[in-house]
Copies of this chain bind each other. A is one copy, B any other.
Amino acid sequence: MNELTGRLVIQQCLSASLKLPGIEGREPELVEVRRGMVVFVCFLNQASEATVEKLVKHIIDIRLSENETSRRVSICDVQGDILIIPQATLGGKLKGKAMQYHNNVDKNVGEALYHKLCHGVRTAVEQVSSGNVKCGVYGARQILNMDTNGPFTHIIEV
């Protein structure tokens, strides 16, 4: 198996909100989504645009959303929302009692890839669905509230 370059944790939500830090003295912004999924993303060493492309495809294609007949379909099939949250801690490796993050991509590279991922998902969703795609702020602490009807958590690695 090749070295991992990206990791997602995906949780289904009924609604979610993310309070972004107030930048340059501005008021904190509240980003909200309705029913859909919350996607936590981390880029690892060697992550590239190819990593972003694969992750965009998985986020759009993966059949994790329940439709009205309880079948699992893609997020666009249910016109669901997507909240994409940068989550560098997903790259952590347990060493003794502490997590180490040596496998994480350089912060500037990670930020650029994160923006590409958000742009890629938004562009793909817009073509086929009325769902909203919302994003967080890379490298900042963000206050998340999430409501689920079964958290239904999945890990995707590429």
Contact = CB atoms under 8 A, between A and B. Distances in A.
A146 interface: yes
Interface string A80-116: 0000010101101010011100000000000000000
Interface in A7-52: 7, 9, 40
Considering the complex of A and B, which 9 residue pairs feature the smallest CB-CB distances, nearest first?
Answer: A141-B150, A61-B97, A144-B148, A144-B151, A63-B98, A146-B146, A145-B147, A87-B153, A143-B149
A146 B151 CA distance: 10
Q: How many subunits of this chain does the assembly comprise?
A: 2
A89 B145 contact: no
A145 B144 contact: no
B149 A58 contact: no
A142 interface: yes
Interface of A: 7, 9, 40, 58, 61-64, 72, 74, 85, 87, 89-90, 92, 94, 97-99, 141-156
A64 B143 contact: no
A16 to B, nearest CB: 9
11 contacts: A9-B9, A9-B155, A61-B97, A63-B99, A72-B98, A74-B97, A142-B150, A143-B148, A144-B147, A145-B145, A145-B146
Given A92-B154, A149-B141, A150-B143, A97 B9 contact: no
B89 A40 contact: no
Contacts of A89: 152-154
Contacts of A97: 61-63, 74
